[in-house]
């Protein structure tokens, strides 16, 4: 797949939202960074109108899309995430999308496994004991060791999570779009293994196939007391259905993503028993954004030279095995 990029004798203008990106590209020989601020103005100035690429991070989609529609020479949207499904229906049809595959896999997998350890070893409850200056030695009720884990997803996050779970002797099943060695389809998973899984991890993007995947029917098939971990997108889960199942004690859940984000303070999910919420911090470690920027620059350099970016995304189909 090619990216139409008219030849130019000068550097390629790239719109950048962050100070880090401006500094990184400041002296680049083929890329000229130009700052944009969605809170300031939707009307591009003379320099912004020259942009052929724009970099988006944790960027509001609607105002960014409005800005893109006003840029006549724009040809590429470069995300700082691996997930790009939120942009597909909002960029102009002649504009391609490049992501940063593989950058977020390790930290998100670390969050998943850390959350599992905290859950099974009751670290939150033990922290409460510390705050009450309570010393109460006892045998804990459970452990991650030997758990049957199903990961809905078969991409980088899923593979890294499976690797991290290996020392715990977990039996890990990967669920992907098509069957292959070590991977079963979602249809096959729902027909059987879902009822055996003690832990179900969601690590897929939102697509027509996966939106509302975890609904009343899905939850009715899970093993009683199973743990659901959502490291994908909030829209994968019917949150009303989850609240009902968690309140009934049928399932526990750890959610790093919700819908909407941020979750309103009055939302009932905050107070739903057996549900733990973290504020979309799975990949939020110091090493993530520099690594994402380095990969983004590689894509932008290829684009500036008239070549397809390494991580050019297929906008007509967001893969089940992708993520974040």
Closest CA to 321 of 182, 167, 192: 182
CATH T-level fold of 12-103+286-304: Rossmann fold (3.40.50)
Low-confidence ranges of the chain (pLDDT < 70): 1-9, 314-324
Q: Which residues contact 1 (CB under 8 A, 6 or more apart)?
A: 96, 308, 312, 314
CATH T-level fold of 105-277: Rossmann fold (3.40.50)
3-class DSSP state of 291: helix
The 10s digit of each residue's pLDDT in 61-106 is: 999 999 999 999 999 999 998 888 889 999 988 999 999 988 999 9
pLDDT, residue 96, reads 96
Q: Which residues contact 243 (CB under 8 A, 6 or more apart)?
A: 268, 269, 272, 275
pLDDT, residue 267, reads 97
pTM: 0.85
12-103+286-304 shares its CATH topology with 105-277: yes
Each domain of the chain, given as residue ranges in start order, spans 12-103+286-304, 105-277
pLDDT, residue 1, reads 45
């Amino acid at each position: 797949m090619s990216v139409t990029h008219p030849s130019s004798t000068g550097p390629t203008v790239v719109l950048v939202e962050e100070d880090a990106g401006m500094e990184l590209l400041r002296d680049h020989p083929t890329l000229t960074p130009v700052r944009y601020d969605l809170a300031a103005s939707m009307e591009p100035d003379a320099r912004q109108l020259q942009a052929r690429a724009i970099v988006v991070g944790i960027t509001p989609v609607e105002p960014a899309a409005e800005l893109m529609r006003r840029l006549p020479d724009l040809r590429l949207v470069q995300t700082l995430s691996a997930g790009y499904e939120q942009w597909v229906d909002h960029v102009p049809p002649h504009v391609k999308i490049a992501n940063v595959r593989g950058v977020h896999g390790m930290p998100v997998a670390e969050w998943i496994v850390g959350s599992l350890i905290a859950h099974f070893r009751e670290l939150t409850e033990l922290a409460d004991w510390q705050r009450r200056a309570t010393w109460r030695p006892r045998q804990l009720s459970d452990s991650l060791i030997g758990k049957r884990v199903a990961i809905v997803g078969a991409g980088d996050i899923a593979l890294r999570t499976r690797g991290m779970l290996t020392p715990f002797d977990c039996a890990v099943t990967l669920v992907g779009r098509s069957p292959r060695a070590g991977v079963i389809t979602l249809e096959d998973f729902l027909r059987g293994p879902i009822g055996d899984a003690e832990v179900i991890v969601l690590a897929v993007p939102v697509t027509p196939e996966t939106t509302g995947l975890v609904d009343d029917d899905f939850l009715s098939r899970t093993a009683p007391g199973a743990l659901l971990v959502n490291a994908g997108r909030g829209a994968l889960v019917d949150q009303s259905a989850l609240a009902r199942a968690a309140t009934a004690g049928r399932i526990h859940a750890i959610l790093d993503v919700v819908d909407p984000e941020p979750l309103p303070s009055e939302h009932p999910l905050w107070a739903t028993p057996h549900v733990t919420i973290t504020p979309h911090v799975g990949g939020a470690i110091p090493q993530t954004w520099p690594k994402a920027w380095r990969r983004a620059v590689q894509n932008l350099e290829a684009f500036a030279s008239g070549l397809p970016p390494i991580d050019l995304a297929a906008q007509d189909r967001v893969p089940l095995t992708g993520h974040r």
